Chain A
Amino acid sequence: MLTILFDGVAYGMLLFILAVGLAVTMGLMNFINLAHGAFAMAGGYITVLLMQRMGVPFLVCLPLAFLGAALMGALLERTLYRPMYNKPHLDQVLFSIGLVFMAVASVDYFLGSSQQNIHLPVWLKGRTEIGSDPFMLGMGHYRLFIIAVCAALTVALQYVLTKTRFGSRLRASVDDQRVAAGLGINVNLVFLSTFAVGSGLAGLGGALGAEVLGLDPTFPLKFMVYFLIVVAVGGTSSITGPLLAALLLGIADVAGKYYIPKLGAFIVYSLMIAILIWRPQGLFVRKAGK
Chain B
Amino acid sequence: MKRRQFTAAALAAATFAAALPALAQDNTFKIGLILPMTGQQASTGRQIEAAARLYMAQNGDTVAGKKIQLIVKDDTSLPDTTRRLAQELVVNDKVNVLAGFGITPSALATAPIATQSKTPLVVMAAATSSITEASPYIVRTSFTLPQVSVALADWAPKNGIKKVVSLVSDYGPGIDAEKFFKDRLIFNGGQVTEALRVPMRNPDFAPFLQKVRDSKPDALFVFVPSGAGAAVMKQFLERGLDKAGIKLIATGDVTDDDQLNDMGDGALGVVSSHHYSAAHPSATNKKFVEAFGKANKGMRPNFMAVGGYDGMRVIYEALRTAKTTGKATPSGDALLAAMKGQIFESPRGPIFIDAQTRDVVQNVYLRKVERKDGQLYNVEFDVIKDVKDPGKTR
Contact = CB atoms under 8 A, between A and B. Distances in A.
Interface of A: 3-4, 7, 11, 108-109, 112-115, 117, 119, 125, 127, 129, 138, 140, 142, 211-214, 216, 218, 222-223, 226, 253-258, 261-262, 264-265
Contacts of B41: 113
Nearest to A11: B204
Contacts, number: 90
Contacts of B364: none
Interface stretch (B118-126, B259-267, B275-283): B259-267
B271 to A, nearest CB: 21
B363 interface: no
A73 to B, nearest CB: 23
A125 B238 contact: yes
B227 interface: yes
6 contacts: A4-B210, A114-B258, A212-B204, A214-B228, A261-B197, A264-B202
Contacts of B263: 117
B228 A115 contact: yes
Contact of B206 (A119, A218, A254): A254
A270 to B, nearest CB: 15
Contacts of B262: 117
A112 B40 CA distance: 9
Contacts of A127: 238-240
Interface in B347-372: none
Given A117-B230, A216-B227, A222-B203, A261 B211 contact: yes
A11 B264 contact: no
A112 B42 contact: yes
Given A7-B210, A113-B39, A127-B239, A261 B196 contact: yes
Contacts of B240: 127, 129, 138
Residue with the highest number of chain B CB atoms closer than 10 Å, among A140, A214, A262: A214
Nearest to B167: A261
Nearest to A211: B234
A115 B207 contact: no
B201 interface: yes
A223 B238 contact: no
A47 to B, nearest CB: 15
Contact of B43 (A114, A117, A222): A114
A48 B132 CA distance: 41
Nearest to A129: B240
Please name the 10 residue pairs, one residue from A and one from B, whose CB atoms are nearest each other, closest first. Answer: A257-B207, A258-B207, A115-B227, A113-B42, A265-B199, A254-B207, A117-B262, A213-B203, A140-B238, A7-B206
B199 A140 contact: no
B40 A254 contact: no
A167 B392 CA distance: 68
Given A7-B210, A257-B211, A265-B202, 12 more contacts: A3-B210, A108-B38, A114-B227, A115-B231, A127-B238, A138-B239, A138-B240, A212-B206, A222-B201, A261-B207, A264-B199, A264-B202
